A and B are shown apart, each in its own frame.
Chain A
Amino acid sequence: MKSCRADIGAGGGRADRPVGLRLLDLAERLRAGLFPARFSVWTPYLYLLPATLITGILAIGLVEMAETSLHVLNRATFRLDPAYTTANYTAVFAKPVYLHIMLKTGLAALLVTGFTLLLAFPYAYHLVRTPHHRLRRFLLIALFLPFLLGQVIRAYGWLIVLGKQGLLNAALELIGLGPVSLIYTYSGVVLGLVQYMLPFAVLLLAPALTAIPHEVELASHSLGATPWRTFRHIVLPLARPGLVAAGVVVFTLTVTDFAMPEIMGGGANDFIANAIYDAFFQLSDAGMGAALGIVLTVFASLIVAVAFLLVGVAALGHGAQQKPRVRP
């Protein structure tokens, strides 16, 4: 080792070093010049910089949107009046249609979150616990295949399956049950969204369930707990970070969804995003669209904030799962 260093120090060795290593040396010297070791305390903040920049750009967009929301449309010129007013917000809360749409959106988000978590939990559990590789592979393929299709194609798929002349109605007619209206309804929108959200929820739950040592469950069984008690007092509390993350993601994606109510709703089951679209594009009223956008952002943020307040932000960290409260 010593002789090797001596060789390098002797001169000829540096030239013999591979190009890759010399480039690395150069990069290291450059880094040391630009970011000396004494600045290392700032390193974590540097890692945060990209996320901060992206959030900052979004915040600028939000500020612009808030500014736009304070102008009403002049229908003589189809431009926004320069005067500032809160008339758009007054209209949002005074018009029953917007309140109704907000309530429908909120209810759908709750239903979709509930149903999705109910379906995703056993799926994710079997995905991480099954000893059979083929079953795990099948579950993964079944999970990712619809993921690759995209929301619009999946929604049209539902129209084919559930339409008046779709597969389901054809089957129902075979057994003497007449055609039923399953699409262009509120429940159709919820059904489509649950199917769309399922992979998101499973993917967020799976790491949390993987982090639960299987031995803990085995210990519970060996101490005489029934499968239900093990699930209720061991698995469920330890899976809380995954459940919270999946719940928040599914809720926020649903509350801001546009395509599913647009395609599956038949025009009469709009969500807030559809109302925003109509304001911007159908009515050419950017002020009203922006006001609705701000209301949606505040609404979704409040719900997420309440969720975090109730379960605690720490629930998202895996540290929270190390203290299961097991009843004797």
Chain B
Amino acid sequence: MHSKPRNLRLPRRRFLTSTAATAIAAPYLLRLPRALAQEKPAEIIVRAWGGVWVEALKKGVSDPFTAMTGIEVRHDLTEDNEIRPKIWAAVDQGRMPPIHVNWDTTTNATKSALRGVTEDLGDLANLEGLLPLARPVGLEGWPLVNVYSYAYVLAYSQKAFPERAPESWNAMLDSAFRKRVAMYDDGIGLFAPAQIAGGGRFEDIPDNMEPCWKYFRALKANEPLLGEDPDFTNWFQNHEIDLACTIISNAREARQNGIAVSWTVPREGATLDTDALWIPKGLPENELYWAKQYVNFALSAEAQQVWCNALGLPPVRPGLEPPADLVGDIAYPASEADLDRFLRIPTPVLVEHESSWFEKVNEIMQG
């Protein structure tokens, strides 16, 4: 139905042609007769992560959406954890929320859905044909929609591992890399592999996490750097670290910037998770309508192809072409069956226990 770009390096002319074609197809995508009945807001605000993340969203979703609708998209780079209480407070107090669309982790989005602050997205046309991964777990309806999956890989400096990739997450514990390893400041992404590398079983999560905490204690002795997404790219670029548990997109960005960084899925496996889009309650009707159209467009083949390829992540819309540099990559699941190779902690377990795991990691790392 729609033309698909073959790789990330989309020629400008072809991009413009695609955009024009999309604009023509837009009335059908957006059910224009209803759209005409809704007054267009001057802009909609979408919360996003910085660095490669917002650039990818802008290129794949926001700019084409503006070209189609004339509605400007402003990206709010407030941290996902910081925007959440603001939205919660706004909805509780009957105020208009600070953003129209929240790009969030699925776990955090589920927490907001449980609190009852999310709009139902069940009427979006582009929900049809998505992978089952797109559907929220443990919730009724569509209070959020997952938009892609991603793996927390073991990224490494090729200078430190010139021969071959590290085979185990235990490489992070090697004293040769003291002060040169990094992880997320709350330990996210590392819980499952740490459980196995620490001598435990994945099935024992969440009832017996002691092997996981044993791994984190050993990691603490190696004095890891703790940070957020953009930090990993910076640290690799500044040669501050040799090893990191991070999302593939951050390591890939460093590599695209000319740094000799690669990544692997060690023998213990790697965590697979998803991110989601959701809309807070409390928006005026017309703004809610256009916010929904934004999410709807983000789920279209055109948007998913460009957005997810720029991030290097597998989309929830099946049948799209992977980025050329990630074809056959161990950390890029190319099919639904590939997803089973990864460690996937069920969302309800994460929602219930993740906060206490964050506390535990904090306790170990601050000790």
Contact = CB atoms under 8 A, between A and B. Distances in A.
B85 interface: yes
Contacts of A278: 186, 358, 362
Contact of B226 (A268, A282, A286): A268
B325 interface: no
A95 to B, nearest CB: 7
A164 B238 contact: yes
Given A267-B226, A268-B226, A278-B362, A75 B367 contact: no
B240 A163 contact: yes
A77 B359 CA distance: 19
A244 to B, nearest CB: 32
B352 A75 contact: yes
A100 B366 contact: yes
Which 6 pairs between the two chains have the least Cβ-Cβ distance?
A267-B226, A97-B363, A281-B81, A267-B185, A78-B115, A283-B355
Interface string B296-326: 0000000000000000000000000000000
B179 interface: yes
Contacts of A77: 114-116
B223 interface: yes
B365 A164 contact: no
Nearest to A278: B362
A299 interface: no
Interface in A131-176: 163-165
Contacts of B366: 97, 100-101, 104, 268-270
A44 interface: no
26 contacts: A78-B111, A96-B363, A97-B362, A97-B366, A97-B367, A163-B240, A164-B239, A165-B238, A165-B239, A184-B179, A184-B225, A267-B185, A267-B225, A268-B220, A268-B224, A269-B366, A270-B362, A275-B362, A278-B358, A281-B79, A281-B84, A282-B186, A282-B355, A282-B358, A283-B358, A284-B85
A308 interface: no
A214 to B, nearest CB: 50
A181 interface: yes
Interface in B64-104: 79, 81-82, 84-85, 88
A78 B116 CA distance: 10
Contacts of B115: 77-79
Interface of A: 75-79, 95-97, 100-101, 104, 163-165, 181, 184, 266-270, 275, 278, 280-286
A283 B226 CA distance: 17
B227 interface: yes
A97 B366 CA distance: 7
Contacts of A284: 81, 84-85, 111, 355
A153 to B, nearest CB: 16
A285 B85 CA distance: 10
B365 A268 contact: yes
Contacts of B186: 278, 282
A270 B81 CA distance: 18
Nearest to B240: A164
Contacts of A275: 362
A286 B355 CA distance: 13
A241 B22 CA distance: 71
Contact of A282 (B81, B223, B367): B81
B14 to A, nearest CB: 39
Q: How many of chain B's residues touch chain A, expressed as a range?
A: 20 to 34
B223 A280 contact: no
Given A165-B238, A184-B179, 4 more contacts: A104-B366, A267-B226, A282-B81, A282-B355
Contacts of B239: 164-165
A165 B185 CA distance: 23
A270 B112 CA distance: 27
A95 B225 contact: no
A144 B173 CA distance: 45
A267 B365 contact: yes
B82 A281 contact: yes
A281 B367 CA distance: 21
Nearest to B82: A281
A268 B185 CA distance: 8
Q: Which of B225, B226, B359 is the most central at the interface, judged by chain A CB atoms within 10 Å of its CB?
A: B359
Contacts of B224: 268
Nearest to B367: A100
A281 B138 CA distance: 23
A163 B237 CA distance: 12
B226 A266 contact: yes
Contacts of B240: 163-164
Contacts of B355: 75, 282-285
A268 B363 contact: no
A280 B81 CA distance: 9
Nearest to A95: B363
B225 A286 contact: no
A78 B367 contact: no
A64 to B, nearest CB: 13
A280 B359 CA distance: 12
Given A78-B115, A281-B84, A267 B227 contact: yes
Interface in B225-246: 225-227, 238-240
B226 to A, nearest CB: 2
A95 B366 CA distance: 12
A163 B79 CA distance: 25
Interface in B314-364: 351-352, 355, 358-359, 362-363
A163 B81 contact: no
Interface in B158-178: none
A75 B226 CA distance: 26
A128 to B, nearest CB: 42
Contacts of B185: 267
A198 to B, nearest CB: 27
A280 B352 contact: no
Nearest to B86: A281
Nearest to B116: A77
